[in-house]
Amino acid sequence: MQATLPVIALGEGIGVDYALYILTVVLANLRAGESLSVAYYRALLFTGKVVVLTGITLGIAVATWVFSPIKFQVDMG
């Protein structure tokens, strides 16, 4: 359980990166004159697929750590 903090930090860092990516597109849509709800919806249409695909890819990659000979990776996988 000593490795929990680094994993939480990694997960939070990735989440913040995605949030900033989506926020950038929302702000661009707001500057174009759209309402907040429309800007957010369009941002999710534009970036949502990429964010979900990247998240699934990361999840699959981490799941393969179960087969690793390194104890830390097995615990995290």
3-class secondary structure, 18: helix
Per-residue pLDDT of the chain (77 residues; tens, 9 = 90+): 556 666 666 677 777 778 888 899 999 999 999 999 999 999 989 887 887 888 788 778 777 777 777 776 666 65
**Amino acid identity of 10?**
L
3-class secondary structure, 35: coil
Which residue from 72, 64, 60, 55 is spatially nearest to 2, judged by alpha carbons? 72
- Identify how many contiguous H helices and E strands the chain contains and give both numbers: 3, 0
The answer to whether the predicted template modeling score (pTM) of the entire model surpasses 0.85 is no
User: What is the DSSP annotation of 26-49?
Assistant: HHHHHHTT--HHHHHHHHHHHHHH
